Amino acid sequence: METQIKLENVSAIQKKFLVTIPAAKVTKTVESKVFEVQRTASIKGFRPGKVPINMVKQYYGEDIKNKALNALISETYSEALKKHALRIVGEPQIEGVAHKGHENEQDHKHLHIHDGEDLSYVATVEVVPEIEPKDYKGLSLEKPSSEVSADDIAAVKKNLLDRKAEMTPIDRPAKKGDFVDFKYEGKMKTDKGFESQANLSGERYAEIGSGQLIPEFEKNITGAKAGETKTFKMTYAKDFQDTNLAGKEAEYSVDVREVKEKKLPEFTDEFVKDFGYENLADFETKAKENLAKNKADEVDNAFRNSMIEKLIEKNVFEVPQSLVYSQIRALADDYAQELKRYGFNEQMIQSAMVSQLEDFKKRANMQVRAGILLDAISKKEKIEPKPADLEAEMKKMAATYNVEVSMLQDRFAQNPRDQSNFEYRVREELTIQFILSSAKVKEKK
């Protein structure tokens, strides 16, 4: 009797393999593991490898059955994947099936080998859904203007001035534009009163009026002087991004350690020379050139994102949560690394991560949906990168990382997975360009 493998469709993103391994195969696998264990078994009175079989079973019986169980699941699960070509994501959830005579076992979902019996289990897996993409041709889109404005130039000027600004400690109430160094301890209102919470306490250094702080919190520390302690209650907005805090009342005690005033230098010919410009006129010219390029890139990214959002609105489908969770972790890791580069400590990073969690979830969900959708469109339209497409993208990549093309080629030759990911990104880009080629684009002033 052969192993029986049945596929059950639970949903578009979840499948179940129902696997039954005949008793004869189970027994044969257990026996093979007995001989494996015998080769290394060590029992007092016997030389290694010379322990009698019956004693090996007596002393190592449970270990032998566990080894056999793992081998049987690994072999038959691989067989199931070969039999049914599914795009599995994440790890399978393996559960046992109670056999006749074992129905009342409380742990029947845990797999056990019972002598002389078939072994049955269920492997529940998540899969990438097979979707039929629609309404991706002739999209009506708006593209923002990439024209450089006087405000854009002013922002660059402000950035340069800020980099050379002097921070002077002051003994007066903090106002808009001042920087405040403070330590805070927060308590959340509960049925027992206000109770301390670790995620509401920490240290910050922030500019008043910059939008770095929650408005109500900022309002309460504005006007404080160095050395002063401010205690106040505040209520988080009902739509606050951290749902654990939304609509809740908190009490804060804030120790203002220092207030600093930012003094800016004059913006002159001499000043801009420190940043590689010849004079003010040279600054204006080059700043416009750089801004034009950067703004064009920003507009292009925003335009593409709006196109993706519109596609997702027109194509509703379930997505595997394991893919979403994986993407959330990737976004969170990148964010944490960025905060570390800015000098945030672990406590500050944790607090920031909590506040960004909903945003991570939203972005991850969209990115996973976009990937599945673009992949489906590329298959439907038979879009595949040609050698010239791959070569052009590799040259761009080499220029970005300032390396030789040959170095990338060697890397891909040694790492097939990297090569596959590279080709996937190129195919995705070609698919985006295909969609945009038929779109009705209106320039937004």
CATH number at 84 reads 3.30.70.1050
Show the domain range for 434: 278-444
200 and 289, same domain (yes or no) = no
pLDDT tier for residue 100 given thresholds of 50, 70 and 90? low
12 and 96, same domain (yes or no) = yes
27 and 170, same domain (yes or no) = no
What pLDDT, in 10s, does the model give residues 45-74?
Answer: 787 777 888 888 888 888 889 999 999 999
95 and 176, same domain (yes or no) = no
CATH of the domain at 360: 1.10.3120.10
Is position 60 within any domain? yes
- Asked which of 204, 229, 263 is the last residue of a domain, the reply is 263
What pLDDT, in 10s, does the model give residues 122-164?
Answer: 999 999 999 999 999 999 999 888 889 899 999 999 999 999 9
Reported as half-sphere exposure (CB side, CA atoms, 13 A), residue 372 has a value of 25
Relative to beta strand 440-444, strand 140-144 is parallel
Percentage of residues in the chain with pLDDT exceeding 90? 69
Can you tell me the distance from the alpha carbon of 321 to that of 364, in angstroms, rounded to the nearest whole number? 10
282 and 259, same domain (yes or no) = no
- Asked which of 77, 103, 127 is the last residue of a domain, the reply is 127
Looking at the 3D structure of the chain, how many domains does it have?
3
- Asked which of 127, 153, 175 is the last residue of a domain, the reply is 127
* 170-197: average pLDDT: 93
73 and 174, same domain (yes or no) = no
Q: What pLDDT was estimated at residue 43?
A: 79
Q: What pLDDT was estimated at residue 107?
A: 47
Can you tell me the distance from the alpha carbon of 315 to that of 162, in angstroms, rounded to the nearest whole number? 46
309 and 407, same domain (yes or no) = yes
Phi first, then psi: give them for residue 413, nearest 5 degrees: -65, -35
Can you tell me the distance from the alpha carbon of 302 to that of 352, in angstroms, rounded to the nearest whole number? 25
Does the pLDDT at position 1 exceed 80? Answer: no
Q: Which residues contact 203 (CB under 8 A, 6 or more apart)?
A: 181, 182, 183, 184, 345, 347, 348
What pLDDT, in 10s, does the model give residues 343-369?
Answer: 888 888 888 888 888 999 999 999 999
* CB-based contact 234:249 (threshold 8 Å): yes
Can you tell me the distance from the alpha carbon of 381 to that of 437, in angstroms, rounded to the nearest whole number? 13
Residue 323 corresponds to which tokens in the numbers above? Answer: 């893919």
* 415-443: average pLDDT: 92
* DSSP code, position 2: P
432 and 285, same domain (yes or no) = yes
Q: What pLDDT was estimated at residue 85?
A: 86
Does the pLDDT at position 106 exceed 50? Answer: no
* 208-231: average pLDDT: 94
Is position 115 within any domain? yes
Q: Which of 55, 32, 31 is nearest to 42 (CA)?
A: 55
330 and 417, same domain (yes or no) = yes
Is position 235 within any domain? yes
Residue 284 corresponds to which tokens in the numbers above? Answer: 């204006």
358 and 224, same domain (yes or no) = no
Q: Which residues contact 18 (CB under 8 A, 6 or more apart)?
A: 4, 5, 6, 7, 8, 97, 120, 122
Is position 62 within any domain? yes
